[in-house]
Amino acid sequence: MPELPEVELTRRRLERELAGKEIERVESRAAKLRLPIPVELATVLTGRTIRSVGRRGKYLLFDCEAGWLVVHLGMTGFLRHLHDPSPPGKHDHLDIWLTDGSVLRFHDPRKFGTVAWTQGDPLAHPLLAGIGPEPLTPAFDGAYLFRVSRSRTVAVKLLIMNAAMVAGVGNIYANEALFRAAIRPDRPACSLTQEECDRVVHFIREVLSESIEQGSTYRVAEATVAYHPLEFAVYGRGKGNCTRCNGPLEETRLGGRSTVFCPRCQR
């Protein structure tokens, strides 16, 4: 599933390629993904210019003059800007044609993505209104994490993956940040000290920033997309050894998600 770095890299790519381009027409080949695709898109987007591409958590926000196109990539979705588009395939559900002959195509095999439209403040849209602070901004700091964790017995990994607490920290980067912070992912959030909260925030920012910075290897091809350029210390390495102590890593499940950690280095 695309996580915050991948969505941010997508945003930067599309901002670079699409800003200032005019929409010629919209073709939708699915009534719904995770939610119904707005039937008014063909009417409201035709003739509009894409002024910018923003992001809130894992949502992409296209400023289209008359309103905002809000897109979530879901589990398997990705957006391709095709200059010489081939005929759409089975999982190509939405085409936004531009006046230069190129097309922005939304591909989503599992149809867990979301396409929404709003003419109001996109940050007030029900999909976005309850999202917590962005992890790469000053609003997310150790003092904030310490404050919101005081009464919560939920595992710290689940707390930082809760979008209402902090935007866009998914399973991959939660595993990595907690390993670097030397915090067990299953510890009750309320057991964290202020110093530990400071460490968790620092390493969340670090792993997200590193993945974005290494995004030169991120690419979208005609039929596939490559994510996660970062070399992981624990994610996906449940049968491997710790890169610090060389002891065996442990793998469990928290909130239905694979969780890998070192029982000696993480306390």
CATH architecture of 142-261: Orthogonal Bundle (1.10)
Concerning whether 55 is annotated as a catalytic residue, the answer is no
The pLDDT value recorded for residue 217 is 47
Concerning whether 32 is annotated as a catalytic residue, the answer is no
Concerning whether 21 is annotated as a catalytic residue, the answer is no
The ranges of the chain annotated as CATH 3.20.190.10 are 4-124
Task: Please identify which of the residues 2, 5, 122, 185 carries the catalytic annotation.
Answer: 2
The ranges of the chain annotated as CATH 1.10.8.50 are 142-261
- How does pLDDT run across 119-133, given as a tens digit for each residue? 999 999 999 999 999
Concerning whether 58 is annotated as a catalytic residue, the answer is yes
Query: DSSP readout, the chain?
Result: ---HHHHHHHHHHHHHHHTTPBEEEEEE--SBSSSBPPTTHHHHHTT-B--EEEEETTEEEEE-SSSEEEEE-TTT-EEEEESSPPPP-TTEEEEEEETTS-EEEEE-TT---EEEEESS-GGGSTTTTT----TTSTTS-HHHHHHHHTT--SBHHHHHT-TTTSTT--HHHHHHHHHHHT--TTSBGGG--HHHHHHHHHHHHHHHHHHHHTGGG-EE-SS-EE---SPPSSTT-TTSB-TTT-PBPEEEEETTEEEEE-TTT--
The pLDDT value recorded for residue 228 is 54
**Whether the predicted pLDDT of 44 surpasses 70:** yes
Task: Please identify which of the residues 58, 80, 105, 184 carries the catalytic annotation.
Answer: 58
CATH 3.20.190.10, domain 4-124, yes or no: yes
Give this prediction's pTM.
0.92
